[in-house]
Amino acid sequence: MSASHRLDALLEAGVEFVAGVPCSYLKKFFAGCADLPPSAFLPAVREDHAVAACAGAWLGGRRTVVAMQNSGLGYCLEVLTSLHLMYRVPLPMIVSDRGAPADYEEHRILGQRTRQLLDLFGIPWREARPGQHEAEARWLVEASERGRTVAVLLVGKEADE
Amino acid sequence: MTRAEAVALALSLLADEDIVVAADGAISREAYRALDRPRTFYMLGSMGQVASIALGLAMTRPERVIGLDGDGNLLMGFGGLAMVGGIKPANLYHLVLDNGCYATTGGQPALSQKVDLASAAVGSGYAWGRRCFSGDDARDAMESWLAAKGPALLDLEVTGEDPEPAPRVPMTPEEMATRTRAALASA
């Protein structure tokens, strides 16, 4: 058991490699990652490098997941489109969906368009629901087994179960 | 020594089991023309991500992973150096084919002419980093690079373009990815 039920559920569903950039809404998730074996967790310096490293780990035979704040999606678009989507390299994503009306202003413009952005690039997403982290983990891994890039959006700190 | 000659020389020095990540653009096309192998992954886009893809492979595979990179490409994804240097995978070997410009887009000068990429790698935590200025020394430099403890970066100056541009890799992206993953899974 790690500090994160969500991470535990992903590991249980078969995930073997995690890369990402922290968000204050993903504290438990990254606390759990810190206890993974060194070959199973990459603390990336930017989100595009995290998703590219996941592609490398997938080529190497691992099931992967990336975790990030939605602000990192912009950095990722080139890699998601010209690597994951184009080569059909699957990628399950855990994305904190910042930008609610009460959130800080730097999150608002992208935050209000995160779902449109994912729709625009044909990346299926679902919003995390309380207590549903196990079903969400299975959904991410099953979709990735079919070659898909898919995202679970975490709205609010309480989604970081 | 041209970039294509340097790519061919590097591939000739590798072991069969070595895994290669070839940068998008001319480097992938020249690697395909010189020696196609299922254990080479050909990038088509995602400029700047050679080190990151190679790192994901190096963390999950026991074999050596060779990144064939360009100087402009490396500068675009400079954070990748920090990740490799910070994680320190001993099986990662990074070769920069350094022509000091963006050759694929018309030869516009790149800041690599003023940035010491080998020192940047060592400063980031690579176990070994050297620059090689002459094609005459390239083979010796590559042999030292591949004999060094990783992660190791060789910044190799290359000049000019091959008279015959290498054609695009005649596989679909999905075929390329599936082929490399299957080759690694069967080992």
Q: Spell out the CATH class of B3-185.
A: alpha beta
* Three-state secondary structure call for residue A134: helix
B183/B187 Cα distance (integer angstroms): 7
**Interface confidence: ipTM more than 0.85:** yes
| Strands A149-154, B19-22: pairing kind | unpaired
Cβ partners under 8 Å of residue B84, min gap 6: B51, B54, B55, B92, B94, B121, B124, B125, B126, B151
In angstroms, the separation between the Cα of residue B136 and the nearest Cα of chain A is 33
- Chain segment A67-80, per-residue pLDDT in tens: 999 999 999 999 99
In angstroms, the separation between the Cα of residue A158 and the nearest Cα of chain B is 30
Q: Which two tokens stand for residue B12?
A: 């000739």
Among the residues of chain B, which ranges form H helices? 3-12, 26-34, 50-60, 71-76, 79-87, 117-124, 138-147, 173-185
Q: Does B37 touch chain A (CB under 8 A)?
A: no
Alpha carbon dihedral B161, B165, B167, B168, in 10-degree steps, equals 40
- Chain segment B33-49, per-residue pLDDT in tens: 999 999 999 999 999 99
- What chain A holds in terms of domains, given with CATH numbers, is 5-159 (3.40.50.970)
- Cβ-based burial of B147 (10 A; exposed 0-12, middle 13-18, buried ≥19): exposed
Give residue A106's pLDDT band: very low, low, confident or very high (50, 70, 90).
confident
- Chain segment A4-28, per-residue pLDDT in tens: 999 999 999 999 999 999 999 999 9
pLDDT at A141 over 90: yes
pLDDT at A105 over 90: no
- The predicted pLDDT at position B162 comes to 83
- Cβ-based burial of B140 (10 A; exposed 0-12, middle 13-18, buried ≥19): exposed
Which whole number is the average pLDDT over B69-90? Answer: 98
Partners of residue A81 in chain B, C-beta under 8 Å: 45
pTM score, whole prediction: 0.97
- The predicted pLDDT at position A110 comes to 87
- Choice between B70 and A99, residue whose per-residue pLDDT is larger: B70
Which whole number is the average pLDDT over A74-98? Answer: 97
Between chain A and chain B, how many beta carbons pairs sit less than 8 Å apart?
A: 112
B125/A29 Cα distance (integer angstroms): 27
Partners of residue B55 in chain A, C-beta under 8 Å: 42, 53, 56
Closest Cβ opposite residue B54 in set A42, A56, A87: A56
Closest Cβ opposite residue A53 in set B55, B176, B180: B55
- Chain segment B100-120, per-residue pLDDT in tens: 999 888 899 999 999 999 999
Q: Does B176 touch chain A (CB under 8 A)?
A: yes
- Chain segment B119-173, per-residue pLDDT in tens: 999 999 999 999 999 889 999 999 999 999 999 999 999 998 888 999 999 999 9
Task: Verify whether the Cβ–Cβ distance A52 to B52 is below 8 Å.
Answer: yes
Give residue B99's pLDDT band: very low, low, confident or very high (50, 70, 90).
very high
Q: Which residue of B has its CA nearest to A55?
A: B53
A71/B119 Cα distance (integer angstroms): 32
Which whole number is the average pLDDT over A28-53? Answer: 97
- The predicted pLDDT at position B187 comes to 66
Q: Which residue of B has its CA nearest to A147?
A: B174
- Chain segment A108-136, per-residue pLDDT in tens: 888 899 999 999 999 999 999 999 999 99
Which residues of A sit within 8 Å Cβ distance of B?
Answer: 16-17, 19, 38-39, 42-46, 48-50, 52-62, 64, 78-79, 81-83, 86-89
